[in-house]
Chains A and B, each alone.
Chain A
Amino acid sequence: MIEVSGLTKQYGSRTVVDDVSFVLEPGTVTGFLGPNGAGKSTTLRMMTGLVAATAGSTRIDGRPYDALANPAAVVGTLLDASAVHPGRTGRTHLRLMAATVGVPAARADEVLELVGLPDAAGRRIGGYSLGMRQRLGIAGALLADPPVLVFDEPANGLDPEGIRWMRDLLRGHAARGGTVLLSSHLLGEVESTVDRLLVIGAGRIVADGPVSDLLGSEGTAVHAADPAALSRALETAGFHVQHGADGALVVPGAEPGDVGAVAAAGGHVLTDLRPVRRGIEDLFFQLTA
């Protein structure tokens, strides 16, 4: 279990992380979401002892990161996939890590296969694409198969297939009882991966809860064969109707079922009916306003 309590980072008079607290439970994938510069990376660096906290603490299995005897056996961390020596091969990079972590050297090739890079093992990292470096970084985090994974923007540079692969990896890790924290500035990259969202804006946690709660329905969008008639029927039924782009009617606060019932009662032909989900941008604006 990871307990972050009151983490704060100030540079002079500027507070970049402000009293951040959360607890991560085994078996869950938590998305750490916020725009660039919101304090995600600084929080992760304080959690792992790379940056000294101005205040607050992190406990991993009850101890600070730098008090863990062999931290990489507990927490697999990928912070910056480009923080590698371009002149080493992927295999050499991982073998050096394996020796430091204390796993057999052969484990380097195992994790290279696990992340889909066996063919690039003998090539210099300088020739790797960003997506390949992300996979290499994930391979390094998995060397000791640690119970906790902390990834900072791991989807950067991954293609859609890679993002799907990573989702399977992280969901599988949580299904085995592991704990996962991954950060992103793009909800779309993580929304189908995470159970829970921690939303950070301007250094503060502004929302913390299940994805469905935070990004619940805002209303319903509907396309009809005769939009004007449906619009009149909805307003008669007491709904407020807005006219969206490309002829859609947007009904704030209504469930698709409500709109469907009105349409069925009036015999309106619908061509599309869907809930309007709040976008992460809207959520930020609403939470940080």
Chain B
Amino acid sequence: MTTSTSTTAAAASSASSSAPSSGPSSSAVPAVRPPVRAGGPSPAALVGIEVRKSLSTRSGRSLAVGGMLLAPAATAVVAAASDETLGSVTGPLGVMGVLTGLVLLSLGVLATAGEWSHRTVQTTHLLVPRRGRVLAAKAVAVALLGAVAAAVAAALTVAVLAGLADGASWDGAGRAVGVFVAAGAVFAVTGAGVGAALANTPAAMTTLYLLVLGVLPIVRTFQPEVGSKADPAEAVLALSQGQAVTQSVLVLTGWVVVSLVAGAVVTRRRAVA
């Protein structure tokens, strides 16, 4: 194999000997360096990249679509099966907001823990060594994805309720939809924080679902006041009906802050294998 004597890499000539070298950037193998951005990616660019990462895997896409469709599908099934007249749509909207949030929790986990499980975190931090910036971008990205998926789910759920729940009261439906969307973002960000803290997808998912679906309901049975001060699902249900607003907002904020802080501490310190 003869190698090029120009500034082109020797292997370049072997890999694409047929490519015409008509200019610095037009050939498959540029004779000069490609245009490279001088600094690191902007925060907005990093958020966009993280959104693309989440949606570039089948599991990420499935969870986003699942989050959009589960609530309207479940609403249709329940409404069709039930003979009782619905009093208000805010109750079902709250329940469906929690259900959607539980799906989006996994979307958040995959965005952070998934990188450790697949070890793609290596490339991520080789390209952006400032790990805190990456985690912040992931949090914003999954918040956006969670809010958008939940907004679609809420809109479809409203449509199903409008068609199937005759005579129900729509008072407070706007607030319930807002809570539905916010819950999507909150659950997704919480998943991202816990995923970053545990750096392991199965561990993060098991921990979160055991906590939200197992431990907290049991605790609530014996000590209702503890449940209402810690349970994110109960906070979403209360908020969508306009109850215990301050406490519920505090509970959800607490989940986001604690999980993100734990995630940030681990993300900064953990050695990348």
Interface residues of A (CB under 8 A from B): 45, 48-52, 65-66, 68-73, 77, 79-80, 82-88, 92, 96-97, 99-104, 107, 109-110, 113-116, 140, 143-145, 164-166, 168-169, 171-173, 175-176
Contacts and interface: CB of A to CB of B under 8 A. Distances in A.
Contacts of B124: 100
A179 B257 CA distance: 44
Given A50-B272, A145-B33, A172-B9, A70 B38 contact: yes
A142 to B, nearest CB: 8
25 contacts: A71-B127, A72-B127, A84-B123, A85-B118, A85-B120, A87-B57, A87-B59, A96-B56, A97-B127, A100-B41, A103-B36, A104-B35, A113-B19, A113-B29, A114-B9, A114-B11, A114-B16, A145-B34, A165-B14, A166-B11, A168-B3, A168-B10, A168-B14, A171-B10, A172-B9
Interface stretch (B45-53, B78-86, B138-146): B45-53
Given A82-B119, A100-B49, A169 B34 contact: no
A77 B125 CA distance: 11
A114 B36 contact: no
Contact of B36 (A87, A92, A102, A176): A102
B12 interface: yes
Interface in B12-62: 12, 14-16, 19, 28-30, 33-41, 45-46, 48-49, 52-53, 56-59
Interface string B258-273: 0000000000010111
Given A84-B120, A100-B127, A109-B28, 18 more contacts: A69-B40, A70-B37, A70-B40, A73-B37, A79-B126, A85-B118, A92-B56, A96-B56, A97-B123, A99-B45, A99-B48, A100-B124, A101-B36, A102-B41, A110-B29, A145-B34, A169-B10, A175-B10
A91 B262 CA distance: 34
Given A88-B57, A102-B37, A140-B123, A66 B11 contact: no
A54 B196 CA distance: 24
B interface, by DSSP: helix, strand, loop or mixed?
Answer: loop
Contacts, number: 152
Given A100-B41, A100-B128, A83 B9 contact: no
Contact of A101 (B11, B30, B37, B52): B37
Contacts of A169: 9-12
A99 B122 contact: no
Contacts of A77: 126
Contacts of B30: 110, 145
Interface string B120-138: 1111111111100000000
Contacts of B7: 176
A149 B179 CA distance: 50
Contacts of A165: 11, 14-15
A112 to B, nearest CB: 9
B29 A114 contact: yes
Contacts of A144: 33-34, 36
B110 to A, nearest CB: 10
B53 to A, nearest CB: 6
Given A80-B122, A103-B35, A114 B128 contact: no
Contacts of B269: 52
A80 B36 contact: no
Contacts of A103: 34-37
A186 to B, nearest CB: 21
Contacts of A116: 15
Contact of B119 (A80, A109, A114): A80
A40 to B, nearest CB: 14
A51 B131 CA distance: 12
Interface string B58-87: 110000000000000000000000000000
Contacts of B4: 172
Nearest to A114: B15
A176 B120 CA distance: 30
Nearest to A92: B56
Nearest to A67: B129
A115 B35 contact: no
Contacts of B3: 168, 171-172
Contact of A51 (B57, B127, B271): B271
Interface in B86-112: none
Contact of B12 (A52, A99, A172): A172
A48 B15 CA distance: 29
B16 A99 contact: no
A52 B34 contact: no
A31 B239 CA distance: 62
A88 B118 CA distance: 12
A119 B116 CA distance: 29
B150 to A, nearest CB: 24
A51 B272 CA distance: 6
B43 to A, nearest CB: 13
A83 B118 contact: yes
